[in-house]
Amino acid sequence: MQAPCQPGWRRRGATPLRSRRHPIPRPLPARGRGERLLVGDPCEPRRPAGHSFRMLARLKVDQRLRNRMIEAVDSLSDSEVALEGGAAHYFNSFFDFFPDHPSLPDNSALTADERRALTSVLSLMTAAAGSTPRFVTTEQLRASGWPQRVAPVARIAFDLLRERGRFSEEAEEPTPSREP
């Protein structure tokens, strides 16, 4: 007999799926990689009573994203260190965690002051990316002066984020518990 949670597994004595007493199980919304779980599927995870996984997951994602934003802004705060990886790394490491359009998405882990500071860094980085050639070299980027203009604003944002500290990566927290 096949073990539960394997393809083709069915309980002994199960009636055909298309009978009146046992209609076809309805699929749940898609879950990662296009998988669908059926209602009553023994592989379906158990949900704790009174908790919404979407709310818990959203808070944890916001906390982790804030931690990555701290790291990205810290790397920009020193213009020479930021350019060590090259011009592509300078932009890509920042835009991995920030949108490439001027508005910062909602993040429940950010305060209003942190959001304003990060928005100013984002607007400078967007302007820098727009005013430099697509395949800019490190020397061209350094000569443009953008890293030197971004660094002081990034330092202010990093200092503001560092005041509150970092959130835990494993658990949801109302306030940050770790030093940056």
Higher pLDDT, 104 or 22: 104
Q: How far apart are CA 137 and CA 40, in angstroms?
A: 57
Q: How far apart are CA 124 and CA 158, in angstroms?
A: 15
pLDDT at 164: 86
pLDDT at 27: 52
pLDDT at 3: 52
Q: Is the pLDDT of residue 133 over 60?
A: yes
The pLDDT confidence band at residue 37, using thresholds 50, 70 and 90, is very low
- The pLDDT mean for the chain works out to 76
Q: Is the pLDDT of residue 144 over 70?
A: yes
Q: Is the pLDDT of residue 14 over 60?
A: no
SS3 assignment, position 64? helix
Radius of gyration of the chain (CA): 24
pLDDT at 24: 53
Q: Is the pLDDT of residue 142 over 90?
A: yes
Distances (CA, A) of 100 to 41, 49, 112, 115, 146: 41, 39, 20, 16, 17
DSSP 40: T
Query: What is the rounded average pLDDT of the residues 32-39?
Result: 46
165: left (phi over 0), alpha (psi -120 to 50) or beta: left
Contacts of 55 (CB under 8 A, 6+ apart): none
Q: What is the pLDDT of residues 93-124, one digit of tens each?
A: 999 988 877 688 888 889 999 999 999 999 99
Q: Is the pLDDT of residue 84 over 60?
A: yes
Query: What is the rounded average pLDDT of the residues 60-88?
Result: 90
The four Cα atoms 124, 97, 169, 173 give a dihedral, to 10 degrees, of 60
Q: Is the pLDDT of residue 74 over 80?
A: yes
Q: How far apart are CA 74 and CA 127, in angstroms?
A: 19
Closest CA to 79 of 8, 161, 175, 146: 146
